[in-house]
Structure 1
Amino acid sequence: MNELLKRILSALILSILVIVGIIYLPVSAVKIAISLITVLCIYEVFKLLDKKLTGIYSKQVLFVSFLSSISLLFFSFYLSIMIITLYSFFTAVKKYDLNYLSYSIFGFFYGVFFPSSLGLLASIDKNLLFVLFSVVWTGDTLAYFVGKNFGKNKLSPILSPKKTWEGAVGSFLGSVVGGFLAIKFFNFQIYWIIPVVVSAVLLQVGDLFESFIKRQVNVKDSSNLIPGHGGILDRIDSLIFASAVFFMFYELLKSFSIAS
C-alpha cells in the first residue's frame, strides 16, 4: 500500500474512534481511556530510554503509569507525584545509580503528565478537546503538505531533517485558522484564541522534543504501533504539548474567576 494512503487511512480510523469516544462515552470513561493511552506512551518512552540506560524498562512501569495517571485524573496530583517518585527511588536504589532516578522521573513526567492533560480538559469541557484537535490536526496537515511541496529551508536539520520553515509557517497558520473556526463553532469566548496561538507554536516544539529523544537513541519511530505513523508518541507528541497549554490557560482563567 502507498505510504501516504496508509498514513491517511490510519489517521482517519484513529480520528473517528477518538471523536466517537469523546462524544458518546461519559467523562469518567474518557479519562480511563486516556490513562490506558498513557500506558502505551510509557511503554514507548521507557523502551527508548532503555537503549540509553539498560534496565530502566520493566513491566512494572506500565502498572505505575496507569496508577499514577488514574491518581492524577481522579484523586490528587500530589498522589501521582508520590507514586512516581517512590517507584523511581526504589528502582534507583536497586541499581544504586542516580541516573535511574532521573531517567525514571523524566520518563513518567513526559509519558504520564502530558497525555493526562487530555483527561483534565475532558473534565472541564469535552468540546475543548475538539478545539484542541482542530488546532493540532489542521496544523499537522498543513505542515505535511506545505513542507512536502514548498519546503526548502531546514527548521532543525539535526533533530528533524525533513522539517522546514515553510512547513512550520503552514502549520502555524493552519492551527490558528482551525482553532479559530472551532472556537466560533463551539461558542467559546474569543479569548480562547490565546491558547490556540500559543499551541500553534508549542505543538511544533513538542514534535522536536520527541525527535530529540529518538535521535539520542538512534531510532526513527517510537514504535511501529500505528501503520504509516510509527508509535503513539509519534502521533500525539505535538497534541500533548498543546493540551497542557489549554489546561494551563483554563487554570489561569479560573484564578481570575472568568473561566467559561
Structure 2
Amino acid sequence: MLKQRIITALWLIPLALLGFFALEGRAFLAFISVIVALAGWEWARLAGFEGQKQRIGYAWTVVAGLLLLNISTAWVLPALYLAGIWWLLAIAMVVTFPNSIAFWGGRLGKLVMGLIIIVPAGLGLQVLKALPQGNMLILSLMLLVWGADIGAYFFGRAFGKKKLAPRVSPGKSWAGLFGGLFCSLCIAAGLLWYFQVPLVQFIPVLLGAALVVLFSVVGDLTESMFKRQVGIKDSSQLLPGHGGVLDRIDSLTAAAPVFALLLLLSGWVLP
C-alpha cells in the first residue's frame, strides 16, 4: 500500500501543480472539467448507480453544468451563494446523521446534491484563477486546507479523545478540528506577514480563513457521510493507494466556493 501511495504521488503531484498553476484560460477550464467529470463519475456510485453508462452520463451532466456557468459572469455569484446555502444545510445533515437520510430524496436527491457540491467547487477554482494574483490565491487555499489536515492529524493523535462526528467519521476529533484550525491560522498569519498586509486587515482576513477551514472540514465530513451510508471506504480506486478523486478534493468542494464567495463579497472583481 505504501509503495502504491508513493508511486501515485510521484505522478499525481506534478500533474496537479502543472494543472493548477501553469494552465490558463480554456486550458485551465479543460483541466477543471476533467476533475469534476471524474468526481461526478464517482458521485454517481455514491448515489447508487453501478452501471458505467449511468455514471458516465452523470459525469457529462456535471461537466455540462460547469460549462453552462461559464456562459456569463452574472451566474457566478448566484451559484456560489447556492453552494454556501448548501454547505450550511450540510452541517445539519452531518450532525443529525443517520436520521437525515430520510430527507435526502433517494437517488434523485443525491444526484442533485452531487451537482450542488461538485459544480460550484469547479467554479470556485475558476474564480480564484481569474482573480488578480490567481495562482497565489489557489496556493493559499491549498495551504489552508493542507495545514488543517496535517494539524488535525497530529493534534488528533495526541489529544483526540472526544470525537467530532463519530457516526460519520469516527477518526475525527474536536482536538483535531481545533489543532487543524490553529495550524491553518498560523499559515494565514505567515502569508499576511510575508505580503506585508496592514495589521488592521489581519483580523478580518484571519476570520475569513477560519471560515474557509471550518467549511473544508464540513466538506470532508459530508463525503464521509455519503460513503458511510453506501458502505464504502473510498469513492473509487482511480488513484491507487489514495482512493478516488473525491477523496482527495472533498475538503476543497466546500472550501473553494466559500473562499471565492468571500473574496468577491470583500471587493475582488472578476475581469
TM above 0.5, yes or no, is yes
Using structure 2 for the length normalisation, give the TM-score: 0.75
How big is the shift at 1:46?
1.0
Q: Which residue in the other structure is 1:112 paired with?
A: 119
Q: Which residue in the other structure is 1:148 paired with?
A: 157
Q: 1:38–1:66: 8 Å Cα contact kept in structure 2?
A: yes
Q: Size of the alignment, in residue pairs?
A: 238
Q: Does residue 225 in structure 1 map to residue 238 in structure 2? A: yes
How big is the shift at 1:49?
0.4
Q: Which residue in the other structure is 1:121 paired with?
A: 128
Q: Distance in 1 between matches of 2:250 and 2:196?
A: 27
Inter-CA distance 121–253: structure 2 relative to 1 (3 Å threshold): same
How big is the shift at 1:8?
6.3
By relative contact order (CA 8 Å, sep 6+), the higher-ranking structure is 2
Moved more, 210-219 or 22-31: 22-31
Q: Which residue in the other structure is 2:220 paired with?
A: 207
Between the aligned residues of both structures, percent identity stands at: 32
Q: Which residue in the other structure is 1:69 paired with?
A: 66
Inter-CA distance 6–170: structure 2 relative to 1 (3 Å threshold): farther
Q: Select the residue among 144, 150, 171 that pairs with 1:135.
A: 144
How big is the shift at 1:207?
0.9
How big is the shift at 1:107?
2.0
Residue segments in structure 2 that go unaligned for 5+ positions in a row: 80-104
Counterpart residue identity of residue 208, structure 1: L
Counterpart residue identity of residue 160, structure 2: G
How big is the shift at 1:181?
2.2
The Cα offsets for residues 195-235 of structure 1, whole Å up to 9 and x where unpaired, read as 21111211111111111111111111111222333111111
Q: Which residue in the other structure is 1:166 paired with?
A: 175
Counterpart residue identity of residue 37, structure 2: V
Q: Distance in 2 between matches of 1:21 and 1:106?
A: 26
Q: Which residue in the other structure is 1:28 paired with?
A: 26
Counterpart residue identity of residue 64, structure 2: L
Report SS of the residue matched to 1:33.
helix
Report SS of the residue matched to 1:50.
coil
Counterpart residue identity of residue 204, structure 1: V
Q: Does residue 44 in structure 1 map to residue 42 in structure 2? A: yes
Counterpart residue identity of residue 42, structure 1: G
Q: 1:179–1:193: 8 Å Cα contact kept in structure 2?
A: yes
Report SS of the residue matched to 1:162.
strand
Q: Distance in 1 between matches of 2:214 and 2:187?
A: 14
Moved more, 5-14 or 130-139: 5-14
How big is the shift at 1:173?
0.9
Counterpart residue identity of residue 118, structure 2: G
Using structure 1 for the length normalisation, give the TM-score: 0.78
Q: Distance in 1 between matches of 2:52 and 2:260?
A: 34
The Cα offsets for residues 103-160 of structure 1, whole Å up to 9 and x where unpaired, read as 3322211222223311121111221101101100111112123223432221111100
Counterpart residue identity of residue 45, structure 1: W
Q: Distance in 1 between matches of 2:130 and 2:4?
A: 33
How big is the shift at 1:238?
0.9
Counterpart residue identity of residue 260, structure 2: F
Q: 1:195–1:245: 8 Å Cα contact kept in structure 2?
A: no
Residue segments in structure 1 that go unaligned for 5+ positions in a row: 82-97
Q: 2:118–2:253: 8 Å Cα contact kept in structure 1?
A: no
Q: Which residue in the other structure is 2:92 paired with?
A: none
Counterpart residue identity of residue 65, structure 1: V
